[in-house]
Structure formats: C-alpha cells, structure tokens
C-alpha cells in the first residue's frame, strides 16, 4: 500500500482503520489521525470533517495533563491531527479500567457472570452503578483478530508481562484514570470506563496511543445520573455511541449482507458537529477548525527539529 507521504528515513507505513502511522528510522512514529470513521469493525464510506483533529487534540491535552504521573510517547504535535512520538515496544495487553458497571461488563453481569477477568463482582448491582473501587479488566492486544479478555493471573502465568511491570501498569492505570475522573468532573461529566496502552524503552514504561477520547472512553453526564440510575433509565452518554445508534436504526451492524446506509451531506455534517460538541464538552474550550493544507511541511519541519 502506497503511503500518502514519504518522509526522510521512513522505514514503514501502516494504514489502520482511522490512522496512518509512519515509522521514522525505528526511533519516531508520525501518527496522523484521519477523518475516517469506523463502526462495527467497518470503515464507513465517507470521512467526517474535523474528526481527526478532535481526537488528536483531546488525546494530546490529556497526555499533557497526566505526564507528571507517567511519561508518555509524545514529542510534538506539529499539526492539529498529527502527533510525533517515540517508538516504544508495546506491551501485549490493553489496560481496561471501569468505574461503573456498563457496556460489556453489564451484559456479562446480566447473563449471570460474577467474575470478570479474575475480578469478583458483588451481587445485586444495577446497570451503570458505580463500583466501590474502579476495576481493571485487561484484554490481550491481538496482532491478528479480536482482543480477548484475560485475568491478571493468566497474564502473569503466561509471561505476557512480568510481575514487576504489570504491577506498575496497574498503578499507572489507576492513577491516570483518577486524574481523568477529576478533570471530567470539572466539566460536569463522569468518566465511566476507558482503556490505556503502554510501551517500554529500556527499563522505562511509557503511556502510548490516545487517551480519554470519546472513541476510547465512555462518559456519562453527571447531572441527572443518580435520578436515571434510581429510575432504571438509560444514562445520557457522551461517546461515539450516537454513530452506532444511527447505523442500527438503519439496519446496519456490520453483518454479512447488510449495507451501510446512505451517508448524506446532512448526516456527515451532523456527525461532524457532534464530534465538535464532544470536544468542547470534554476540554471545556471552543473548537477552532484548523487548516491542515501544509501538513506535510509541518511534519517535515518537526522531524528536522528532532534531527531527522
């Protein structure tokens, strides 16, 4: 697959569902967050204007706000939808942390499961109820296929991560989630659950990839949370769930024989506006539409500063 750009000392190019990643001399990654959008493991036919900028800027804001807790991979954000960072050796687990019984955890609980990734859950909980203490429910980071839930004990038994490193990953996960929870509360939001990825350079662990974005996290509105919980009413959510809901309403869930509904200009604009709304709520600041027409030159200048 041909890369849209070719940078000095470029070793490889990877096109993901929504991101283009360039490896520069095995030292740096140039990650471009595109406006492509995926749902049900399918990339939808039309891009969403400014979506890449929204996700990249939310992630870079939260990474900057947590770097006193754990070092992260970011070196520069040369354009609104681009991050340049260090190449780390990723751990083959994703650290999923849940403050509330929601999503797949609730579906498992409703089906009678009381042990989730080795964590025993109390009886008598309701959907979206807060856990006494946030729980960590890791998944394997699959090279091919889907990630799978796994317990702490199995991770250690299989030698996927050393005991010392895993205990540190747990501490970082809890601390970064706590910071994210505090920031969300100031915006009138509840950080429900999220996932973190970590990597290593030498003996140092780094937080990598995006964090606390509406694509990687679930948020509830704090106002009305208790009332909805007590009345068994669905919580008002802040995530890309609205895209899935639109697809489901139009009979698409990524299954064989199903077709993506027509993405009219109006639909595309509505989704774009919702992402911008998410940005402004999560960061508490006005969204400024960026000009990315000089993106290649911006990246080249940033790489030059790094000595490439």
Helix (H, G, I), strand (E, B), or coil: what is residue 189? strand
Q: Are residues 122 and 217 in the same domain?
A: yes
Q: Are residues 108 and 74 in the same domain?
A: no
Q: Are residues 233 and 267 in the same domain?
A: no
- Rounded distance between C-alpha atoms, residue 214 and residue 194, angstroms: 9
pTM to 2 decimal places: 0.93
Q: Are residues 165 and 127 in the same domain?
A: yes
Q: Are residues 125 and 42 in the same domain?
A: no
Ordered DSSP codes for 263-277: --HHHHHHHHHHHHH
Look at the block and give the residue holding tokens 């000009």: 291
What residues make up the domain containing 173? 89-237
- Rounded distance between C-alpha atoms, residue 13 and residue 52, angstroms: 18
Phi, psi dihedrals of residue 162, rounded to the nearest 5°: -70, 155
Residue 307 within any structural domain of the chain: no
Q: Are residues 14 and 137 in the same domain?
A: no
Cβ atoms < 10 Å from Cβ of 204: 11
Residue 301 within any structural domain of the chain: no
Helix (H, G, I), strand (E, B), or coil: what is residue 88? coil
Q: How far apart are the first and last CA of the chain?
A: 24
Phi, psi dihedrals of residue 37, rounded to the nearest 5°: -135, 135
pLDDT confidence of residue 143: 61
Q: How many domains does the chain have?
A: 2
Q: Are residues 51 and 74 in the same domain?
A: yes
Q: Are residues 160 and 68 in the same domain?
A: no
Q: Are residues 80 and 93 in the same domain?
A: no
Looking up residue 93, the CATH number of its domain turns out to be 3.30.470.20
Helix (H, G, I), strand (E, B), or coil: what is residue 78? strand
pLDDT confidence of residue 14: 95
Residue 308 within any structural domain of the chain: no
Residue 247 within any structural domain of the chain: no
Residue 176 and residue 99 in contact, taking contact as beta carbons nearer than 8 Å: no
pLDDT confidence of residue 41: 85
Cβ atoms < 10 Å from Cβ of 245: 12
pLDDT tens sequence for the chain (308 residues): 567 899 999 999 999 999 999 999 999 999 999 999 999 889 999 999 999 999 999 999 999 999 999 999 999 999 999 999 999 999 999 999 999 999 889 999 999 999 999 999 999 999 999 999 999 999 998 665 567 899 999 999 999 999 999 999 999 999 999 999 999 999 999 999 999 999 999 999 999 999 999 889 999 999 999 999 999 999 998 888 789 889 999 999 999 999 999 999 999 999 999 999 999 999 999 999 999 889 999 999 999 999 99
pLDDT confidence of residue 237: 87
Ordered DSSP codes for 9-50: TEEEEEE-SSEEEEEETTTEEEEEE-S--EETTEE-SS--TT
* Structure token digits, residue 78: 């040369």
Antiparallel, parallel or unpaired: β 82-86 and 89-90: unpaired
- Rounded distance between C-alpha atoms, residue 139 and residue 150, angstroms: 5
Q: Are residues 49 and 103 in the same domain?
A: no
Q: Are residues 71 and 190 in the same domain?
A: no
pLDDT confidence of residue 1: 57
pLDDT confidence of residue 62: 98
Q: Are residues 189 and 65 in the same domain?
A: no
- Rounded distance between C-alpha atoms, residue 14 and residue 269, angstroms: 28
pLDDT confidence of residue 266: 95
Ordered DSSP codes for 50-82: THHHHHHHHHHHHHHHHTTTS-BSEEEEEETTE
Cβ atoms < 10 Å from Cβ of 1: 6
């Amino acid at each position: 697959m041909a890369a849209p750009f070719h940078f000095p000392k470029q070793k490889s190019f990877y096109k993901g569902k929504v991101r283009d990643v360039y490896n520069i001399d095995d030292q740096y990654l140039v990650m471009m967050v595109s406006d492509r959008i995926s749902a049900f493991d399918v990339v939808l036919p039309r891009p969403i204007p400014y979506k890449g900028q929204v996700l990249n800027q939310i992630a870079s804001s939260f990474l900057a706000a947590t770097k006193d807790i754990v070092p992260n991979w970011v070196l520069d954000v040369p354009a609104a939808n681009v991050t340049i960072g260090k190449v780390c050796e990723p751990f083959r687990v994703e650290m999923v942390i849940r403050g509330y019984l929601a999503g797949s955890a609730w579906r498992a609980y409703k089906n009678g499961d009381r042990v989730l990734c080795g964590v025993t859950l109390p009886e008598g909980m309701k959907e979206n109820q807060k856990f006494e203490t946030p729980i960590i429910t890791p998944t394997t980071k699959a090279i091919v296929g889907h990630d799978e839930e796994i317990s702490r004990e199995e991770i250690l038994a299989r030698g996927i991560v050393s005991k010392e490193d895993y205990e540190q990953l747990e501490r970082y996960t809890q601390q970064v989630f706590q910071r994210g929870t505090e920031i969300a509360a100031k915006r009138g939001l509840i950080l429900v659950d999220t996932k973190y990825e970590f990597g290593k350079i030498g003996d140092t662990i780094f937080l990598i990839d995006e964090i606390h974005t509406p694509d990687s996290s679930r948020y509830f509105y704090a106002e009305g949370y208790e009332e909805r919980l007590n009345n068994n009413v669905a919580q008002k959510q802040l995530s890309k769930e609205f895209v899935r809901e639109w697809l489901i309403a139009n009979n698409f869930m990524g299954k064989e024989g199903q077709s993506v509904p027509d993405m009219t200009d109006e639909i595309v604009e509505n989704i774009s506006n919702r992402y911008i709304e998410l940005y402004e709520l999560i960061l508490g600041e006005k969204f400024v539409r960026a000009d990315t027409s000089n993106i290649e030159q911006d990246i080249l200048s940033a790489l030059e500063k790094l000595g490439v």
